[in-house]
Structure formats: C-alpha cells, structure tokens
C-alpha cells in the first residue's frame, strides 16, 4: 500500500475515534490513551528488547523527533527517555 493511501486510512481511523491525526507528540499521546483497551487494542507498540535491532531503530527515531543529538544536554536526553518509557505502559506485555 502506498504511503498516501495509508495516511488517508490512518486519518479516517483517527477521525472516526474523535482524534486528531498524529501530527504532534500531544496528539499521539492523546490517541494512545484513548485507544488503549487491552486485550482488544493496545495504544502503543514499543520495542522493549534492548538486544534487538528494532529497539535501536525505534529509539533513534524517538530521540531525533525530540531534537536529541550528540550535542544535546543530558537533561533533555533523560527527559526524552523517560517519556518513551512512559509509553511502554500502553504496550502489550
């Protein structure tokens, strides 16, 4: 499925649930909290095995999306990691 069609389906899904499309971190967290209904639906799928490549890939995207790079202050890095860890509570065990 091409990206444009996928975005259209995703947008319809979000709007059908009374949510804004996930264009900001705030919208993403709001959607996660509203859609989280285990065991039928989990609001977030997190990479949790630190020894797998997928974990590194997801973490890299989270860090970059939050403006973290090699010159970032330690506090911002830690804050971003804490936010990511908080999302884990919405993932499947």
Q: What is the pLDDT of residues 44-53, one digit of tens each?
A: 877 767 777 8
Q: Check residues 42 and 9 and name the one with the higher pLDDT.
A: 42
pLDDT(1) > 50:
no
- Residue 75 — pLDDT band, cuts 50, 70, 90? confident
Q: Which residues of 37-76 are buried (b: 16+ CB within 10 A; e: fewer)?
A: eeeeebbbebbeeeeeeeeeebbeebbeebebeeeeeeee
pLDDT at residue 80, as a whole number: 86
Q: Which residue has the tokens 């830690």?
A: 78
Cα separation, 53 vs 49, in Å, equals 9
What is the distance, to the nearest Å, from the Cα of residue 87 to the centroid of all Cα atoms in its chain? Answer: 7
52 CB contacts (<8 Å, ≥6 apart)?
none
pLDDT at residue 23, as a whole number: 76
Instruction: Please report, for the chain, the start and end positions of each structural domain, with discontinuous segments joined by +.
Output: 1-35, 45-93
pLDDT(60) > 80:
yes
pLDDT(21) > 70:
yes
From first CA to last CA, the distance across the chain in angstroms is: 29
């Amino acid at each position: 499925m091409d990206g444009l069609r996928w975005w259209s389906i995703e947008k319809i899904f979000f709007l059908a649930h009374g949510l804004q499309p996930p264009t900001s971190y705030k919208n993403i967290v709001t959607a996660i909290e509203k859609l989280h209904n285990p065991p039928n639906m989990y609001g977030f799928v997190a990479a949790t095995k630190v020894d797998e490549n997928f974990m590194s890939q997801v973490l890299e995207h989270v860090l970059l999306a939050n403006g973290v790079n090699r010159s970032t202050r330690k506090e911002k890095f830690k804050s971003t990691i804490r936010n990511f860890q908080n999302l884990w509570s919405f993932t499947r065990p």
